[in-house]
Structure 1
Amino acid sequence: MNTLLAVIFFALVFGLLPAWIRLLVRRWRWRKREAASAAPAAPVWQPPVPPPAARPAEPPAPVRPRPRADKAVPDEPLGAGGADLQYPVARAARRLRSAQAPEEQYEALLDTAEMLAATIAITAAAIFRENGFGARLRGLARAYERGVTFGTWTTFVERLHEYPDVLPGGSAALRDGALAADLNILRRARNDAAHGGKPRDRYAAAAKVAELGAPLGRALVGARFLSALPWVLTESSSYRSRSDDFEVVAKYAMGDHPEFDRRNVVSAKPVANDSFYLLTPRGPIDLTPFVVNRYCEHCRHEEACFAAKLSKDGVTTVQSFDLGHQIVDHELADLLRVLPD
């Protein structure tokens, strides 16, 4: 009994009591630190603020002049308006935006204008062909025998105002001829350059770029309707019996990137593989023989090309939109010959 009582006594006195005291001390210190941290920090010194009357008056906000109603082109970089159009236009416009030297800008500006004219003409020609209006393609068919040029495309665009409903969503600039007029300004500049009128130095080139930038900007704005008529390159097509239509896997040939994004498109009619199509509200329209996908020996990969010339021996030359490489083709001659029929 004495031993048990001694054990209990010493455990209480030398064990529990000191531990309890230490716990009280720690809690007290902890509360002291919490109180110190909760106290507001001393304010940082700031210079005295003068009374409102002594403050200097703030200058009035600058008033930006309102844009004129007759301003020709929006304030944006050259070629910016073509960034989301069909690949030929968007790719050329990208080179124009990235060009640094005035001489490079001059060449890229004319290339962008030519690709814009070609894209408008090809899109309209495909719609004519789909709807059986071959008579409207006689001039284009004759041009293929000589070889299509910038003038071929602008001449075709000029006549589109006679058919205001050919292009869904066609702009007022296309219907009233303003778009064709701007493209003709740029075509004449290309002709002048080809006949010795090319700028001789960077200063002359910069002046030409400043002069031709306005009609190109107006033409790109007037051709905004092209964004609602996208081009696609088909990969595969599968029939869906339940809905009686076709699910098409296609590459979206819009924008300036050479690698087209894949998209799924539903078509009420079958489409050919590895072919360019124009998507319209009434369904896809085959762009063959105007635009084709061909392997380029120079680039070592497939390129989007347009039919450039039909020779008398039945050989067609197609030309890359991107780099201008020419490729011999033996499949398009018959389709080009029957365009006016």
Structure 2
Amino acid sequence: MNNRQGCQVHSRIARGQADDLPAFHTSAREAHLAGQLARPFDDPVWRAEASYPFHVAALARRYRVSTHSAERKDGLLKLGEGTARTLGILVLRELIAHHGSFTRSLRKSFSQGATFGTWTTLIQRFLDEVPAPQLPELIALHEHNVTQSLLKEIKDLRNGFHHAHGVRRDHELDEDVEKLEPPVVSALSSVNWLSSTDWFWVERCEYLDESSFQAVGLRLRGSHPSWEPLSRPINHPLRPERVYVDGTPPGEPIDLWPLAMVSLCPDCRTRELFLLNQIANGTAVLRSLEEHELTIPYPADSQN
């Protein structure tokens, strides 16, 4: 083989190796992407951030990106209470439907504003009083009663922290995080069925024919703060300006008014999701995740 032939052979080999490089890099990138997509299925916090209702998903993200011990502790406490609040809104809607109205005894729970204990008490009432919920996913609370005990454990830990005197040192904060993280992560894992619920806001309901309608609105997906457009066919009309929740597969969407509302925040002028916090003196106060408040008139109910 002369020098010219040798150079041609080496050139072809080099070109062949170069041709293989893009395929190698593509496979590596695809494997990395597959790992990122699969991670939420292995990590309850990632799964919550990616697919749970917004008031849990956003708090899951805040905890995941926290670094200092004090931030991690605060993030875990907020995530535990946010999980209880989201469940509490759903079970409160079931209790209202079960009793036929937002009764006085239910409203009394919100006279001083909702607390962690308010939500766990409502969840227990749901377990005691509602055997067949309208939202099928809530059956999981009956079948696996571990969620309620985990939420109570988180609440008790939080109360214990609040009763501690003085400023917590770094090693004490680390110990608090070690105590909090297992029940919070276990509680998140126990309600993985929340991924199957779809919360959405109806802007308008379009008539198609006698038994067909189109709901047009917005929804929040996972922890992302921006609203995305929604359009879905339904077989009965939905009331505009209302928040609905539905399961998987889709059934009959459940109206969450007055427990959840979407409105332009008067403070920041952005559209936010507000959840019920207090009912007193003929008004209902709803609060967003940013601690902004929305007040609406809501007359008292005469029923017990």
TM-score range, shorter chain: 0.7 to 0.9
Separation of aligned partners in 1, 2:172 and 2:42: 23
1:292 and 2:261 matched: yes
Pick closer, same or farther for the CA change 1:199–1:255 going to 2, 3 Å: farther
Q: Distance in 2 between matches of 1:339 and 1:183?
A: 32
Q: Displacement of 1:298 after TM fit?
A: 2.8
Residue number in structure 1 paired with 2:121: 155
What is the percentage of aligned positions where both structures have the same residue?
A: 24
Q: Tell me whether 1:92 sits opposite 2:92 in the alignment.
A: no
Q: 1:249 to 1:340 in 2, by over 3 A?
A: farther
* Residue 85 of structure 1, CA deviation: 0.4
Aligned pairs, number: 270
Q: CA RMSD in A?
A: 2.9
Which TM-score applies when normalising by structure 1? 0.70
Report matched runs for 1:54-203 at 5 Å: 76=43, 79-83=45-49, 84-129=51-96, 131-134=97-100, 139-162=105-128, 163-166=130-133, 167-170=135-138, 172=140, 174-196=142-164, 200-203=168-171
Question: Unaligned 5+ residue runs, structure 2?
Answer: 14-40
- How much has 1:75 moved relative to structure 2? 7.2
What displacement does 1:308 show?
Answer: 1.2
> What's the CA shift for 1:198?
8.1
| Structure with greater proportional helix content | 2
Deviations 1:168-214 (A, max 9, x none): 13465653421001001111222233334686122211111111111
AA paired with 1:230? D
Residue 237 to residue 201, structure 1, CA distance change in 2 (3 Å): same
Is the CA contact 2:84–2:116 (under 8 Å) kept in the aligned structure 1? yes
Given that 1:102 and 1:205 are in contact with CA atoms closer than 8 Å, whether structure 2 keeps it comes out as yes
Secondary structure in 1 aligned to 2:109? Answer: helix
Separation in 2, partners of 1:283, 1:75? 31
1:127-184 C-alpha deviation (Å, 9 max, x unpaired): 443x453379654321122221110101111233333432413465653421001001
**Closer, same or farther: CA 35–106 of 1 in aligned 2, 3 Å:** closer
Gaps of at least 5 residues in structure 1 are: 1-31, 44-73
Hey, what does 2:27 align to over in structure 1? Answer: none
1:302 deviates by 2.5
Q: Does structure 2 retain, via aligned residues, the 8 Å contact 1:250–1:262?
A: yes
Note the C-alpha offset of 1:125. 2.3
- 1:109 and 1:39 map into 2 onto residues whose CA distance is 63
Q: Distance in 2 between matches of 1:39 and 1:283?
A: 69
1:340 and 1:188 mapped to 2: Cα distance?
33
**Which one of 178, 183, 186 corresponds to residue 215 of structure 1?**
183
Q: Is the Cα contact below 8 Å between 2:103 and 2:301 reproduced in 1?
A: no
> 1:75 & 1:36 partners in 2: Cα distance?
53
**Partner Cα distance (1:329, 1:246) in 2:** 29
Secondary structure of 2:193's partner? Answer: helix
Separation (CA, whole Å) in 2 of partners of 1:256 and 1:340: 38
